Structure 1
Amino acid sequence: MNIIKKNKLLFIVTLVYVVLFITNTDKAIESTQNSMYYVLEMLQIMPVIFILTSLIEAWIPREVIMNSFGEKSGIKGNMLSFILGSFSAGPIYAAFPVCKTLIKKGASISNIVIILSTWAVVKVPMLANEAKFLGTKFMMIRWILTTISIFVMAYIVSIFVKKDSIPNIKDSIIKNKVVIKEEYCIGCRICERVSPSKFKVSSGKAKILNDIIDESTDEAIDKCPVKAIDYI
């Protein structure tokens, strides 16, 4: 039963195929052939994506991702996300593991929404084909309205969706060292109140007292209003 609960979708799809083979064999065969096409496509694309995500995980420092796509990246991060999605290659499902890795490294929810949305509907090669078949005017108006919608949607999603709600994100962070970015710290003393054995505010900036990492460290990181505390 536990296996079924963990793979509900796969179980339901398998059950549907079994019923379809019993009730309408021809449609079942046609459906299986169509499914196999996409399975083979995924088998060709996903290994490359897994290699890419591994390279991002291993070789790109968390600080670089945070500066380029993080909460503090501002308009620069929005533009980089838009460009990354627009010039991406491959189907949209290939974007999900890449975006999950970027979130683990510190990318903001809003920038992930921008990457996914542009990857799906604003690819540069797709725009050329759109202009060819539907006309340049249609393409331009659709592109402008879609772009506006993407940024609005990114802002709204970032309000309602937090990183804590994404599976395995919090536990995936490597908790080997805590740092304080003094340029962001405002000396509010929240970290000191949450974890007095770990943090102390001196001369208007928070300082780390020891290397012990516990639940209060996570709480201090979550409650810091300017996100000056983080793991590396």
Structure 2
Amino acid sequence: MEIVFTGCLYGIMGILLILSFIKSKAKTSLALKKAWKMFLSVLPQFLAVLIFVGLMLAVVQRETIQAVIGSESGGKGVCLSALLGSAAAIPALIAFPIASELLKSGAGLIQINVFIFTLTTVSLVTMPLEIKYLGRKITLLRNLLALIFSFIAAFIIGGIFQ
């Protein structure tokens, strides 16, 4: 089923690409060149993180992942996932394959969702820079609201899909 869905997405993408070429070959070519350059700029970091995660998953037992951030880890696992997501300084594009592998290795859906949500909305790493430009009050309020939203959204998604 997943292969069929993926194939359909690729088919739709191919049709839209052809339509774009028909409309403007120059703009489509330029967009593809820019996309290729962006891909190449992200590739080293992407490969490094995937290798790191692959090695980590090879060393860490499935039972350990389940105990620490599995569905049975409860509030501790959710909070740990939120902390890891808030402190991680990796692009969301790289986090999705990591999340997929962690799910396959026994991580819980709510834990992975809160990890992704906090990774993309809460930022402990860039907080000093954000405080410099937005001020302490706005930065803390934004991060607190993003953290609260991350928990709410993760639990909603977990409730729907579990």
TM-score (structure 2 length as normaliser): 0.84
User: 1:4, 1:114 → 2: CA distance?
Assistant: 28
Q: In the alignment, is residue 12 of structure 1 matched against residue 12 of structure 2?
A: yes
User: Pairwise mapping of residues 42-191 of structure 1 onto structure 2 (< 5 A)?
Assistant: 42-162=42-162
> What is the deviation of 1:6?
4.8
Task: Rate the CA distance shift 1:128–1:34 in 2: closer, same or farther, 3 A.
Answer: farther
Deviations along 1:113-137, one digit per CA (max 9) or x if unpaired, are: 1110111111223333322222221
User: 1:4, 1:128 → 2: CA distance?
Assistant: 46
CA contact (8 A) 2:88 2:125 kept: no
What amino acid is the match of 1:32? L
> What is the deviation of 1:4?
9.0
* Count of aligned pairs between the two proteins: 160
Q: Which runs of 5+ in 2 are unaligned?
A: none
> What is the deviation of 1:143?
1.0
User: 1:45, 1:37 → 2: CA distance?
Assistant: 14
CA RMSD of aligned residues (A): 2.3
What amino acid is the match of 1:137? K
Over the matched positions of the two proteins, sequence identity in percent amounts to 29
User: 1:100, 1:5 → 2: CA distance?
Assistant: 17
User: Bigger radius of gyration, 1 or 2?
Assistant: 1
Greater fraction of residues in helix: 2
Greater fraction of residues in strand: 1
What amino acid is the match of 1:36? W
Task: Rate the CA distance shift 1:8–1:154 in 2: closer, same or farther, 3 A.
Answer: same
Q: Which runs of 5+ in 1 are unaligned?
A: 163-232
CA contact (8 A) 2:20 2:28 kept: yes
User: 1:67, 1:5 → 2: CA distance?
Assistant: 32
Equivalent in the alignment of 1:23: 23
